[in-house]
Amino acid sequence: MEGDFIKINKWLYPLSFLYGMGVNLRNQLFDWEMLPSRSYNVPVISIGNITVGGTGKTPHTEYLIKLLQKDFQVAVLSRGYKRKSKGFVLAAPDTPMSKIGDEPYQMKQKYPHVHVAVDADRRNGIEQLCAPNITPEVEVVLLDDAYQHRYVKPGINILLVDYHRMIGEDALLPAGRLREPERGKNRANIVIITKCPRDIKPMDYRIISKQIDLFPYQKLYFSTLTYGKLTPLGHPSDDSDTRTLNSLGKDEKVLLLTGIASPQQLLHDLEQYTPHIETVTFPDHHAFTAKDLATIKQRFEQMGEGKKLIITTEKDATRLINHPQLDETLKASIYILPVEIEFLQGQQESFNEKIIGYVRANSRNSILHQDKDANRS
């Protein structure tokens, strides 16, 4: 049920109060236009949250990429968390993960024809992506994790809220995981309740809709996670060695290896396929060390004989696949589990139309796209 992953450290409330004063002042300065927010002549869609990590930004961003890339030249701009570079970096197919960060690297590898760039200064990043001498053909920019970056005024602001961690039941940092007060949701054009159970009851839809309490100009959607085929880390492009989660035997042992913000949902979902799951968890965006890899190998060996494998996420795989100290024997036992999203309540068509309609209406090449649509009809 919603709220079941929330943990609040009440003894930190005084610090949360001080933090909230600073955040509220900053937001007021933007609301009063004493701090500037800039719009652009290219469609800009922001995907973010008001909690710290774990709401499913990457699979939702990838959903938008797949939705738009057939008709538009898409660019993704991220901060590039924990990268070992500074300033604006436009990813090439051979750009190392360390230079752009794990999530941008993942998206560039999966969607090589999409422009993926990183820049902590999102205004500069958008200007670079729209520059005639860099990527002049860009028709839409997706801002990854930029809900609090108010110096940019996106055309569509998408707020993601974890079903298991409703923002109305959480608290500000550091007592809880809210980056800003709940009323920050008012800036969103679209709110998506993510990680919903597939069998969510109609009553739950109504309860959440009332609880989230949106304005008429805002649209509420519900999404759930879906999983692709397990792919071997050693040769991820080889489809012949993939397997489905349904192929996991009830006697098969799984070591779930994660370095993500909220692994609880993944663990819960995998338990539907096999009861024999052990976990090795690291912090979000964790850079694996030789000691970490030795620990993983030891834990895997301690699981004994018989059928067993290691399952990890796509994001973690970006930090493992080229690791010079990853044992080849261990590598052969690691499988990547892709994650996608699916809209519930038959909302997919409505969401798609809203996004595509906005991009077509505001694209620098909108007349060309109108002609293209006319030719299709």
Q: Give the tens place of pLDDT for each residue, 49-65.
A: 999 988 999 999 999 99
- Give the long-range contacts of residues 12-17, CB within 8 A, separation 24 or more: 12/174, 12/175, 13/171, 13/175, 15/174, 15/175, 16/171, 16/172, 16/173, 16/174, 16/175, 16/176, 17/172
- Return the DSSP state at 366: H
Rounded distance between C-alpha atoms, residue 14 and residue 348, angstroms: 42
Distance CA 156, CA 152 (A): 11
Hey, is 236 helix, strand or coil? coil
* CB environment 325-359: b (16+ within 10 A), e (fewer): ebeeebbebbbbbbbbbebbeebbeebeeebbebb
User: What is the residue whose two structure tokens read 């509220």?
Assistant: 24
Are 147 and 48 a contacting pair, CB within 8 Å?
yes
Entry pTM: 0.93
More confident residue, 103 or 375: 103
CB-based contacts of 232: which residues, under 8 Å, 6+ apart?
A: 238, 241, 242, 332, 334, 335, 336
**368: pLDDT confidence band, cut at 50, 70 and 90?**
very low
Let me know if 101 is exposed, middle or buried by CB neighbors in 10 A (0-12, 13-18, 19+): buried
Q: With 80 as the cut, is the pLDDT of residue 6 above it?
A: no
Q: Compute the average pLDDT of residues 146-163.
A: 96
Residues 58 and 160 sit within 8 Å (Cβ to Cβ): no
> What confidence score (pLDDT) does residue 234 get?
83
* Average pLDDT across the chain, whole number: 92
For range 175-184, the mean pLDDT: 96
Question: How far is Cα of residue 68 from the mean position of the Cα atoms in its chain?
Answer: 17
Q: Under DSSP, is residue 265 helix (H, G, I), strand (E, B) or coil?
A: helix
Asked if the model's pLDDT at residue 1 lies above 50, the reply is no
Separation between Cα atoms, residue 330 and residue 314, nearest integer Å? 17
In terms of DSSP H, where are the helices of 258-347? Answer: 264-270, 290-301, 314-320, 328-331
In this model, does residue 179 exceed pLDDT 60? yes
For residues 297-310, give the mean pLDDT.
Answer: 94
Q: Is the pLDDT of residue 372 over 60?
A: no
The answer to whether the Cα torsion of 271, 274, 279, 283 is positive or negative is: negative
Between CA 312 and CA 342 the distance in angstroms is: 21
Q: What is the mean pLDDT of residues 363-368?
A: 58
Tens digit of pLDDT for each residue in 324-350? Answer: 999 999 999 999 999 999 999 999 999
Is residue 262 very low, low, confident or very high in pLDDT (cuts 50, 70, 90)? confident
Paired tokens of 214: 């949106």
Per-residue pLDDT of 79-120, as tens digits, reads 999 899 999 999 999 999 999 999 999 999 999 999 999 999
Query: Domains, the chain, ranges and CATH?
Result: 10-226+343-376 (3.40.50.300), 229-337 (3.40.50)
What pLDDT is attached to residue 269?
A: 93
Residue scoring higher pLDDT (374 or 179): 179
Give the mean pLDDT of 29-40: 96
Q: Identify the pLDDT of residue 237.
A: 65
